[in-house]
Amino acid sequence: MTIAAGALHALARRSNDMSAHPPARVGAAIDEIDTPALIVELDALERNLDRMANAVAPGIALRPHAKSHKCPPIALAQRARGAVGVCCQTVAEAEGFVHAGIDDVLVTNEVVGAPKLARLAAIARRAKIGVLADDVDNVSDLARAAERAGVVLRALVEVDVGAHRCGVAPGTPAVRIAQAIAQERALAFGGVHAYHGAAQHRRTPQERRDAIASATALARETRDAIQAAGIACPLVTGAGTGTWPLEHASGVYTELQPGSYVFMDADYTRNTPDGDDVRFEQSLFVLTTVMSTAAERHVIVDAGLKALAFDSGMPLVRGEGVSYERASDEHGTIAVEGAAKPRLGARVWLIPGHCDPTVNLYDWLVGMRGPRVECVWPVAARGALG
Amino acid sequence: MTIAAGALHALARRSNDMSAHPPARVGAAIDEIDTPALIVELDALERNLDRMANAVAPGIALRPHAKSHKCPPIALAQRARGAVGVCCQTVAEAEGFVHAGIDDVLVTNEVVGAPKLARLAAIARRAKIGVLADDVDNVSDLARAAERAGVVLRALVEVDVGAHRCGVAPGTPAVRIAQAIAQERALAFGGVHAYHGAAQHRRTPQERRDAIASATALARETRDAIQAAGIACPLVTGAGTGTWPLEHASGVYTELQPGSYVFMDADYTRNTPDGDDVRFEQSLFVLTTVMSTAAERHVIVDAGLKALAFDSGMPLVRGEGVSYERASDEHGTIAVEGAAKPRLGARVWLIPGHCDPTVNLYDWLVGMRGPRVECVWPVAARGALG
């Protein structure tokens, strides 16, 4: 017996689009926001945007990563402050930002398979689109997709400079990919992508300096080898919120890709800053409500595994004497030993452990200016996995 | 300077609703499915549904938890096999299932705050709605919301029988809540909610037997105390996929709430089954694509922290000789030491570590019958956090 066979097609649409119901109206007070809700403090966000825009020297491009915020109004604000465009991590994200009016997107990832490649080429009719490659067959597939769409795609070689994820080895293997790209009429060689993801969360300034010194040496070697092969290398791009001052000062990197600086999170606060680092403020919070006070030494809030990412540990609680101790699917246990127990219905502000996957759990980002909701932004690229 | 201030309201809607684009069409082959995709094998799902429906004895009600699948067609299939209704964990989930035609929903949670209470009461005009309470002031708030909506809400007392989350202590504290409910005209006392969440993943049969023996004793004591106070107790409800045969045989529980049995996950497979336990099959998978083969000892697939939940550990890989080793936001590292390295573009099937929060990351559930897509169901209650 098949499941409700006759009803399948009728149900193959959203029967109740929850995302149609934002958690707050513009002008609402904090107590009127439905929880759990993803909140951004706009003053702190704008200070973060300004600090990064002001810190980047002439001759170095800022291309912030939009996978952190997934939110077109923030991308437009970055563009308005001088960013050359944004980075995305998936074709679906890139589609979202191009549709929202961003005209220059670098997909900092390989794109594999005919359907995804066709979608990537399609948005290159409306915007400047770049993509990474670490395989010569994939370079050929990229070129065929671009030809079919009648576009030129910018392709960069991804080099593994320490993250040990995607990317070819520095030097000769990278030159081979660059040559394959340069031979294709439908591709423009865009340069070297050398992002050291693993270095972003090394805790001490010295560990980060060592990691980026090594990445810089490998990026330089690769750039020089490509140029020695007769191929112009217009760009060396990489860097994240944890290390960007180092790539910025390297003399090799010409474009920076930090993303998390707009929001920050509990994990980034565990990095010991270098003396002269630009400091970014926590602007992102998950607003929760106390829904049970029946126990003696804890209260329960309405944000658990479906409202926060836990890959980088527990969220922090804004305020003293309480801590987020344990999560289940829809509940968070807040330990209150030594502090006054919050009352039923009280609001508790949480600082997410890891901003990117937490943002990915929400349809709406509620922007607060002081005590009032100023805007409710769609997290347009939420769930844009492919 | 405010962010793109003039554009805020124009952007306060979804600029690109990714959920409008399902990852596959009905009739597609596996290679045509866009990845990462959430897949359910319909034959295995239906066997799981049948096994549970057939295992429950007359006189015991089955009310499966819909927070696991969030998917109305599966709830309707459970109802068609004799389930009395479903459980939900949030008001937004309950709204979704009522709108999809489910006429009996128990919200197995406290509901706090006037706006949420008003929404709960509103759906009680269209369906039989139950809710939990562990606070006398909250009981009063529930009653006022029901009165304003002109409905009667069924309210159960939540008792902490070992999960140490929400719920009052067994015995006298629970009687006080039951009395408060019984005094309200707009509330009907529904019975005792005694779910031992922490027992579901205890690994040995003996540990689970001990935990549920204790929970059953506390539930019985509480039921008897409520009846001794002159209040009829129509129901003792609880149980999950890890322990339901024990509550089923307890002589005290009269309703069972398992959810995960429809899908199963890597964490439930770590439970040692009891000799005569009904076995459920893994029916849920995340389908991924190999997107980089540049490294020697690993390949990269396109499913990371935004495509899988990691609170219960790494996903398992279907197939031999490879393992999911490490996740970053959009990438998974698959170690291939000792096995043949999958080619670029190959498909890799993953068994999620924890089914509920993994399902919550997807807009669509692709139903496969053998090698073909038979249906694409909306995960209607995805992100229904409040």
pLDDT tens digit sequence for B294-311: 999 999 999 999 999 999
The alpha-carbon gap from A233 to the nearest alpha carbon of chain B, in Å, equals 21
Residue type, B362: Y
The alpha-carbon gap from A331 to the nearest alpha carbon of chain B, in Å, equals 8
The two structure tokens encoding residue A194: 């050398």
Q: How far apart are CA B153 and CA B110, in angstroms?
A: 13
- Average pLDDT over chain B, rounded to an integer: 93
Q: In what order do the strands lie in the sheet with A86-88?
A: A61-62, A255-256, A236-238, A187-193, A153-158, A128-133, A104-107, A86-88
Which residues in chain B touch residue A16, judged by CB atoms under 8 angstroms apart?
95-96, 99-100, 380-381
Percent of chain B with pLDDT over 90: 91
The alpha-carbon gap from A230 to the nearest alpha carbon of chain B, in Å, equals 24
CB contact under 8 A, A35 and B386: yes
How confident is the model at residue B343, as a pLDDT?
96
Question: Which band of pLDDT confidence, cut at 50, 70 and 90, is reported for residue B14?
Answer: very low
The mean pLDDT of A370-377, rounded to a whole number, is 97
Q: How far apart are CA B66 and CA B68, in angstroms?
A: 5
Q: How far apart are CA B97 and CA B104, in angstroms?
A: 9
Question: Which band of pLDDT confidence, cut at 50, 70 and 90, is reported for residue B275?
Answer: confident
CATH entry 3.20.20.10 includes domain B42-263:
yes
Residue type, B202: R
Compare CB distances from A12 to B2, B360, B375 and report the shortest one's residue.
B375
CB contact under 8 A, A135 and B344: yes
Which residues of chain A form CATH 2.40.37.20?
18-40+280-378
pLDDT at B106 over 50: yes
How confident is the model at residue A337, as a pLDDT?
80
Which residues in chain A touch residue B90, judged by CB atoms under 8 angstroms apart?
302, 330
Chain B residue nearest residue A89, CA to CA: B330
Question: Which band of pLDDT confidence, cut at 50, 70 and 90, is reported for residue A177?
Answer: very high
Residues in chain A, total: 386
Compare CB distances from B99 to A16, A331, A344 and report the shortest one's residue.
A16
Question: Which band of pLDDT confidence, cut at 50, 70 and 90, is reported for residue B11?
Answer: very low
Residues in chain B, total: 386
pLDDT at B196 over 50: yes
> pLDDT tens digits for A295-352?
999 999 999 999 999 999 999 999 888 999 999 999 999 999 878 899 999 999 999 9
Q: Is A6 exposed, middle or buried (CB count within 10 Å of its CB: 0-12, 13-18, 19+)?
A: exposed
CATH architecture of A18-40+280-378: Beta Barrel (2.40)
pLDDT at A20 over 70: no
The CATH fold of domain A42-264? TIM Barrel (3.20.20)
> pLDDT tens digits for B218-249?
999 999 999 999 999 999 999 999 999 999 99
Question: Which band of pLDDT confidence, cut at 50, 70 and 90, is reported for residue B13?
Answer: very low
Which residues of chain B form CATH 3.20.20.10?
42-263
The alpha-carbon gap from B234 to the nearest alpha carbon of chain A, in Å, equals 23
Compare CB distances from A73 to B7, B21, B137 and report the shortest one's residue.
B7
Compare CB distances from B112 to A36, A100, A291 and report the shortest one's residue.
A291
Q: How far apart are CA B308 and CA B314, in angstroms?
A: 9
CB contact under 8 A, B386 and A37: yes
CB contact under 8 A, A360 and B362: no
CB contact under 8 A, B292 and A110: yes
How confident is the model at residue A93, as a pLDDT?
96
Q: How far apart are CA A262 and CA A240, in angstroms?
A: 12
Superfamily of domain B17-40+280-378: D-serine dehydratase-like domain (2.40.37.20)
pTM: 0.94
Which residues of chain A form CATH 3.20.20.10?
42-264
Q: How far apart are CA B365 and CA A327, in angstroms?
A: 25
The alpha-carbon gap from A300 to the nearest alpha carbon of chain B, in Å, equals 7
The alpha-carbon gap from B379 to the nearest alpha carbon of chain A, in Å, equals 8
CB contact under 8 A, B16 and A95: yes
Q: How far apart are CA B45 and CA A357, in angstroms?
A: 29
- Total CB pairs under 8 A between chain A and B: 301
Q: Is the dihedral of CA A184, A187, A191, A195 positive or negative?
A: negative
Plot region of B129 (φ>0 → left; ψ -120 to 50 → alpha; else → beta):
beta
Q: How far apart are CA B268 and CA B247, in angstroms?
A: 18
Which residues of chain B form CATH 2.40.37.20?
17-40+280-378
Plot region of A298 (φ>0 → left; ψ -120 to 50 → alpha; else → beta):
beta
3-state secondary structure of A205: helix
Question: Which band of pLDDT confidence, cut at 50, 70 and 90, is reported for residue B20?
Answer: low
